[in-house]
Structure 1
């Protein structure tokens, strides 16, 4: 039975992965890129706009603006009364949300398909007629600061990625957290905010995706009507400083008053997500720590019972990535022991070929992830927007899996050697605050 199940799973993954997402894309005269995907399997439609603006797009002393705008642009518009946005959506059978990374901001609505025009109107209002005044700025400054307190400042391990960013980057804006700093949010003026909106929230810095049960001809007419009149903005240019290579291992200590169990971290700077090597690093992190049968978990948590939790993950970003291997100790297990055990597993990937069986398991997992990412209309909309805006290749929604399928065991070893060497890392002892006094 075992001998027959494995190839069947592989064939199952290949078959599902071969399903093609059909779409049409074009540009309006104002530079807005439009992508349409018709899916008649359910009477729903997702309307989404992704702006090419994230936490890294700021000046010194004004961090966190992109995330702040994620909130501010729900305040209201010329034709939507303050505080009524969510009421309009929910009363028409829809749901909506937004999220921000260091590289982009994403807004979306999911409606019954007969409310597509409403979704288009809402997003065109956000782009063309946002009301940006002192009342909205003051309100959302407090909302964002409270979120920062809850999700970062007062949450166990909430500052860990902020520490990693500061240590891996000294020049690039990735050195600062996406949500920004309290003092920068306090210092933001109405003029700062308006200038930010005029620079980044323009049609030529965005992609509009409509995915679901749509009449394509009618949809194009609505898109032209609602988005065509929006003025084109000035071209957005970026010229962020390059980081010097990390060539010598460093070790630092950071303290968190919200934790009782320390975390020990091996952190590395890695390439941006458009690079092929970033795909390989994703496979390495899955190999090391995805699931209870993964190498790190089985060894350090299950067999040797040295850690409560262990993991490896590649934080994908546009310009650079961050690769982390971490563990939380059990009982009296020392940080030194955990660091040695983690390095031993990373070194095996650098020095040895993973087994053919493990390689095939990785391929199957990525086949499954690929299929799941395109299993809903909302997921397809997000993927279409992301691949066009950040990767410059919408067709990756269908062909990205081919990149993973082409990654060999030899390439995994080569990439681990390229980026995950001891002299390229920063070791972080992330300790309880009371340990600082000892």
Structure 2
């Protein structure tokens, strides 16, 4: 993924499962204030030739994807909670808990979880996004039960020690400095979101604002854990060389004993209509200027009905979906007015979404000029449309990505988990490809005409400053910071 896209995953790239998004990466930000505790029957549903599903009595869903090409397994537990569910003053708490999940339980000492997985010959990690938090292990298939037992233990028995938390929050603050405060493009995207969204929680960074991190407490993390880490808010995805019935038995053994909890969902924080363009300028030490345009557009909530979201995905691919796509071909290679350009869109989100255009101007071009040139390429499609031949090339890329995705058991698990956490379904995966394949040139032209006016636009511009010679270089982060 290009660096200028800044953690936004296209549906096509998502289906290729080549990114762990922090991005990032779901339908409907509007949830009921309270959710009753579900008590579904314990039934197995064969949903596809190679995918089976079980719901435990406590509400935890188990999805098993069979792939017997190699004796390996990807085991993931997804919690449907992310930074979208946070409140002002405690931003970053979802990510902070993710760190603390490796710092010990009633049975395990801090760091012992990771040591045990390594001793089993596996690897493990976790990630937090706006919409969800997930934990995974990749392991030889005979070791699945042992990592499942470890994961089940920390669903209910986590110990958030105040001394461990005091150390870890410093690591998180350093992570923010390294990955955001000292990265000018990351600062620009953070400012873009904070400006584009007046109310929606997507205005806050996943890692949290520094002031909130400085005031976050171990009690805040314990409360978050108690509120959200429950079996009826979790989905297990197991992909690889496994027998579904055996996986279901293990899930019942280790997770079925936990009681469900009443989940109090976040109140709706719907974004009010935007009535004019918004602009923000970020001044930071950097080598080059940079500009990013974000347009508020619809997301993907129903694969069979949301035609515009699918057309926007194809529009993104037309602009920046392959090596010689329109933006690069025109602005970088032919006109040489930009060193780098991009377009990105992902409609899979629980909250509102943006279609983004961005770029680094070449010498002699200003960010204001590049902004107009980027918009002109969308306007050209709105005016002249796209050809069947161009769409055929784009769709070939989409289909190829789906095929390549199936080479990875972890990629398949990622794909299933993201779809489920986002309010869609793994059953929609193949249907999504079919629907993208059916997008017409007229639909692409129609969305280019409809969604790219000034009233939907937010522009964030980087004004480069000379480097601060007196500022010390950031120190290296501990290995477990890279979760």
TM-score between the two structures when normalised by the length of structure 1: 0.91
Q: Which has the higher helix share?
A: 1
Could you tell me how far 1:251 is from its partner in structure 2?
3.0
Q: Are 2:142 and 1:114 aligned?
A: yes
Q: 1:290, 1:36 → 2: CA distance?
A: 31
Q: Note if contact 1:78-1:131 (Cα within 8 Å) is conserved in structure 2.
A: yes
- Which one is further off, 292-301 or 275-284? 275-284
Q: Are 2:328 and 1:297 aligned?
A: yes
The equivalent of 2:476 in structure 1 is none
Q: 2:174, 2:223 → 1: CA distance?
A: 24
Could you tell me how far 1:36 is from its partner in structure 2?
1.3
Could you tell me how far 1:384 is from its partner in structure 2?
1.7
Could you tell me how far 1:247 is from its partner in structure 2?
3.1
Structure-to-structure mapping, 1:67-106, within 5 angstroms? 67-106=95-134
Structure-to-structure mapping, 1:1-400, within 5 angstroms? 22-257=50-285, 259-274=286-301, 276=306, 277-316=308-347, 317-400=349-432
- Which one is further off, 128-137 or 172-181? 128-137
Q: 1:124, 1:87 → 2: CA distance?
A: 17
TM-score between the two structures when normalised by the length of structure 2: 0.82
The equivalent of 1:419 in structure 2 is 451
Q: 2:275, 2:109 → 1: CA distance?
A: 55
- After superposing on structure 2, the runs of 4+ consecutive aligned residues of structure 1 that deviate more than 3 Å are none
Gaps of 5+ in 1: 1-15
Could you tell me how far 1:117 is from its partner in structure 2?
0.3
Gaps of 5+ in 2: 1-15, 17-47, 468-483
Q: Deviations over 1:112-158 (max 9, x none)?
A: 00101012112101212111121232122112111111111112412
Could you tell me how far 1:308 is from its partner in structure 2?
0.8
Secondary structure, in 3 states, of the residue corresponding to 2:127?
strand
Q: Deviations over 1:369-393 (max 9, x none)?
A: 2222332111111122222232342
Q: 2:382, 2:51 → 1: CA distance?
A: 40
Q: Note if contact 1:273-1:321 (Cα within 8 Å) is conserved in structure 2.
A: no
Secondary structure, in 3 states, of the residue corresponding to 1:157?
helix
Q: 2:310, 2:377 → 1: CA distance?
A: 20
Q: Deviations over 1:74-113 (max 9, x none)?
A: 1121222211122111111101111111001111101000
- What is the count of residue pairs matched by the alignment? 416
Q: 1:172, 1:423 → 2: CA distance?
A: 17
